[in-house]
Every structure is written in C-alpha cells, then in structure tokens.
Amino acid sequence: MTCAGLNPMPQARTFRRDPDDVMRLARMGCNHPTRLSFLRQLLRRMQSEGWGFDRPVWDIDAQGVGRAVYRAIGPVRTYSLVAFAHDLPDDQRSDRVIATAWDATFALFDGTPDADDLDRLAANVPLQEAGRVTPNELSLSRANRSVRLFDHVVESLARGQQPNADMLLETGYLMRTTAVYGSGKFGAADRAAIVERPEMRAPFQAEMLSVWLTRSFTVDLVEHLARARGGANAVRLAPELKRGLGVGNSTGLGMAPFLIRHPVLLNNWMVAREEALARVRAQEAVGEAEFAGFLAALRAAQENALLWASAHPIQRAKLSDLRDGLARTMAHVTERWDRYATHPWDNLWRWGQTSLPLEGQEALLAAMLEPHGDLIDGLGDCMDADEEAHFPIDGAMRVGDLRATLRTHYAWALDVDYTAHEHSARFWYISEDKLEPRLGERFDEPGAECELPLDTGRQAAALWRALEGKPGDMPVAHLLLAHPEHRPALRRAQITGRHPFAEIRDNLIAADMLPIDLLRCKLAFFGATRFDPRSDRWVRISLFQGAPYPEMMTGRVQDA
C-alpha cells in the first residue's frame, strides 16, 4: 500500500535521504534492526492486544523425542506452533539447506490442530522439503541444537546448577533454525490468503511468530531433559539467563534474491524507515523522555556491539567501525551536541554523516528511531505491498519518459562496461539439487546460459541502448513488440519510477559484490541481531534475544 495519504507530517519531506545514497549495497550491508523491524511489530501487537498463550500438548519422552503444541491466542484467531523433536545423530547435523535431518521440525498451524491434523503433520513436517503441508499451515521450519551449549545447559540444570552465563552470552541460543518457509512453500497457505488479517499484514508475521514460539520450545526442551536426567535435583533456567537467549538462524544465498524479486516490497520497507528517520530529524526540539530513551538505546547498542563477535575478517572490520562509531557518537552526544538548538536531531544526524563510518551512521539511525514510537510506529502499517497491482507494464508510457526514468534512477548502471570481467564476473542461477538460488563465477564455471535475471544494472543498460534512435513519443508497447527481451528491465524501470527505493543501485554481478550485504539488509528488517558471516554468502544471526517470553506477555509490559 501507499501511505502517502496517511502522512501526517509533510514537513518531514525535506529531511528524507536520497535513494542514490540509501540504496547502495555498502550501506544496506550496515543496516541495523529498528523498532519498525518485523519481530518488534509482532511483539508490540501481541502486547497491545493482550494475546494469550498456552501449551496444550507436551508429549516428549526422556530422550527428547515427541511432539508439542504452542498456541498464540489473539482477539480473533489462534495460531499454533506444532513442534516435532527428533533424535538426531551428531554426524547428521548440518545447518545448511543441503541437510535432510534435523533436531526439531515445526509448522505454524492456522487455528488449533486436532489429533488428525497432528498425525498428518507428523507424517510430513519432519520430512521438510520432501513432505507436503496444506493451506492450514502458514510456515514450515526446522532447527538444530547448538550442541555444546545445549548439552551444557541440560547437564547444569540436571545437577541443580545454572549454566555458565558467559557460555550462554557467547552463543546466545539453544537452537538455530536453518530454514523458515512461508508464503505458499511446499503447499502452505499463500500470503494472499492471510494478508487481509490485521495481525498478518506486516511482512513475515507468521514466520516471526513461528520463531518466537520456537524459542519457548527450546527452553522447555532443555528444562524437560534436565528433569528427566536430574529428577528432583533439577532446576529451571534462571529468568535473566533465559531472557538473554534467542533463536539462532543460519541463512544463505537462498534468501539473497528476495530483495531483487520484490521491488515494491523493498521500496515500502525502505520508505517506512526513511520516513521514520525524516520525521525524527524534522522535530524542532528534543523531549526529556526522548533524550533518555535515545541514550538508553545508544548504551544498549554499545553493549550489543561488545557481545557481537565474528571470526570473519569483513565483519570484524565492520564491528570495529561500529564500536568506534558508537563510542564517538556517545561522546559527541554527551559532550558537544546542543540539544537545545533548532532541529537538534537533524544537527546530530548531519554530524554523523560527516564524522561516522557507515556502520556508525546506520546504528545512529536505529538509536534515533528508538524513543520515537508515537511518532513512527504507525509506519509499520505501510510496509506490506500489493505486488500484483504493480506488476503490469504500462505500454502507453512514451520512450522519452522511459529515458528520463532511466537517467534519474539508473545512472549508476548505464555507463558500466559490462564486457569487462570485473563487472560481470558472477551469475545467479538455480541449483539442480535444491532448486535454490546460487551464485556462480561466469568465467570459471559452466551454467551462465541458465542465468537468472538478477543482473539488474546490465539489463537497464541494455534497455538504454535499445532506446537509441527511437522517437521520444513512441509508446513502449511498440518497443516491446520488437524487443520482448527488454521486458523485465522495462518493468523494473517503471516500478522504480513510481517507487524510488525499489532498486538496489549496485551491480549485482560484479566481482566485488558481497551477497552478505543483501542478507544483512533483509535480516535487519526482520529484527535480527548478532549478524555473523561464515563466508561472503552465508551467515548466522540471532532472533528475539532479550525479548519477552509468552508467559511475560500478559497485559501491557515493557516494549520489547
């Protein structure tokens, strides 16, 4: 949807950033979660609407094998996480999508499942991609134990002791999901089937709910196993340790093309966040509560940056930038920032633009949004997209207007020499084994003839060249009759003309393109923390670390 008609702050317009600045991979690869992130939206809604939660089924044996059901009961509808716990030999445990067995498998059921539903799911969910679910299911997922920590926690609790807090902090989760499929995958309900529900309208709410309930399952499972092992000596996990645990997630290239394939959705995510920043920058004064909230957010970001570890050289450098940037920001804010001047937030933002590395700038953005819930939370309603409505090509557009659109939004792409190896070194393809997106080396590996149309810059440049010599008043419908091969680029150009944040303004087949930048951007919108790349194309992250558990959600509690 467009939120233009709902915008109560037209004065924020002059504070918006330019898409040429925002939509670059280097900056997108520095994105941080904000209060508009999807898991934050889910938790806020459940808190404000007073959702109830229970666990009607817990049928897990002493070896940790069996099934459980967790329900989230909203004002109109109920959703149930159906969990299957398995006995997985250590040598079969792999985080990657190539795996065929897992420690636990899950489906998010639409409603409350009966015995027949559970039996049907038991026959399919453990198989994951090799099984089938139905439109009664909203997501399909699996998770593996973080074995070293999982075993340590079970052993400690069984002995009546709390686990080592440093170990918990270091890993941050008991299980990692390795795929969370939604939106019609493997027979599940299509997004269109649930998008009219207010609680499902923001992106990825079903998937976020599934992961959040999975977090409860992981803690229940270690406590169950500790009781089975330690009997009366066993203790439960201390609340402060429990709250610090999230759910890990391991993800890779399969997720990367999403942002390119859903340009209107990407635009709406970006526009909501950019509008939020602009609204804060447009404030003429800093309230005391906002100042205190901002300082608290900065401190929390500093603590998070200290606990955030990675062995990957790229991420280590970025972490160094982040810690340095946050320290400089804190010093500036407490020692030099004149928060009584006009437009103090804008002054601070402008200081950051000239004084901080990209990591620090984007962290400052997240901290500035944090104390402004009343001002910006409504923008969460603008982050979905009716993609079908924006799909058709407008054949009546004139070539002259298309040229102008390309000049305005694709200048970054038009003058690149795509015959040079470094500018077309990669190609995206679908893997034969898992039917997942992968990235190949064009000049070293076979398969470039099967390339996916993710070479957005190269396609835009080819379209630009095809317009040479064409009359400006020629309808593009006539161009397409002669050159159907330019259809995808023309469609993207029209979408970007209407949605300036729809296109990533970088060459996605360049030798130096980092897929993890795409992942970081998307995962930040999810609300992920502890972004930890294991190569340039797969990462581990944490979700819901520090967030409340279902039993803490009764009534209005502190915002997550």
Task: Point out which residues bind another protein (CB under 8 A).
Answer: 90, 93-96, 98, 134-135, 144, 146-148, 171, 183-193, 250, 252-253, 388, 391-396, 429-435, 438-441, 445-447, 450, 453, 475-477, 480-481, 484-488, 491, 534-538
> Looking at beta carbons only, is 16 or 132 nearer to another protein?
132
DSSP per residue over 530-541, as a string?
Answer: EEEESSSS-EEE
What is the Cα–Cα distance from 152 to 90, expressed in whole angstroms?
Answer: 15
Smallest distance from another protein to CB 199, Å? 18
Smallest distance from another protein to CB 209, Å? 19
> Looking at beta carbons only, is 297 or 460 nearer to another protein?
460
Smallest distance from another protein to CB 77, Å? 15
Smallest distance from another protein to CB 420, Å? 22
Specify whether the CB–CB gap between 394 and 494 falls below 8 A. yes
Smallest distance from another protein to CB 107, Å? 14
> Looking at beta carbons only, is 44 or 185 nearer to another protein?
185
Smallest distance from another protein to CB 253, Å? 6
Supply φ then ψ for residue 137, to 5 degrees: -110, 140
Looking up tokens 């920058």, which residue turns up?
Answer: 281
Looking up tokens 């795509």, which residue turns up?
Answer: 418
What is the Cα–Cα distance from 28 to 22, expressed in whole angstroms?
Answer: 7
Smallest distance from another protein to CB 298, Å? 31
> Looking at beta carbons only, is 117 or 290 nearer to another protein?
117
Reading phi first (left if > 0) and then psi (alpha if -120 to 50, else beta), residue 183 is in left
What is the Cα–Cα distance from 141 to 176, expressed in whole angstroms?
Answer: 11
What is the Cα–Cα distance from 337 to 364, expressed in whole angstroms?
Answer: 14
Looking up tokens 């949807």, which residue turns up?
Answer: 1
Strands 529-533 and 539-543: antiparallel
Residues 6+ apart with CB under 8 A from 485: none
What is the Cα–Cα distance from 483 to 470, expressed in whole angstroms?
Answer: 12
Residues 6+ apart with CB under 8 A from 556: 47, 48
Buried b (16+ CB within 10 A) or exposed e, 393-407: beeebebebbbebbe
Smallest distance from another protein to CB 488, Å? 5
> Looking at beta carbons only, is 302 or 315 nearer to another protein?
315
> Looking at beta carbons only, is 69 or 168 nearer to another protein?
168
> Looking at beta carbons only, is 356 or 460 nearer to another protein?
460
Smallest distance from another protein to CB 226, Å? 20
Smallest distance from another protein to CB 395, Å? 3
> Looking at beta carbons only, is 400 or 453 nearer to another protein?
453
> Looking at beta carbons only, is 19 or 437 nearer to another protein?
437
Q: Give the single-character DSSP code of 28.
A: H
Smallest distance from another protein to CB 503, Å? 16
> Looking at beta carbons only, is 56 or 484 nearer to another protein?
484
> Looking at beta carbons only, is 171 or 304 nearer to another protein?
171
Residue 406 to residues 19, 74, 403, Cα–Cα distance (Å) = 14, 46, 5
Beta bridge partners of 110: 79
Strands 52-60 and 66-73: antiparallel
Looking up tokens 């409350």, which residue turns up?
Answer: 112
Nearest to 294 by CA among 321, 262, 332, 256: 332
Smallest distance from another protein to CB 232, Å? 31
> Looking at beta carbons only, is 161 or 535 nearer to another protein?
535
What is the Cα–Cα distance from 67 to 72, expressed in whole angstroms?
Answer: 17
Structure tokens at 445: 């590996």
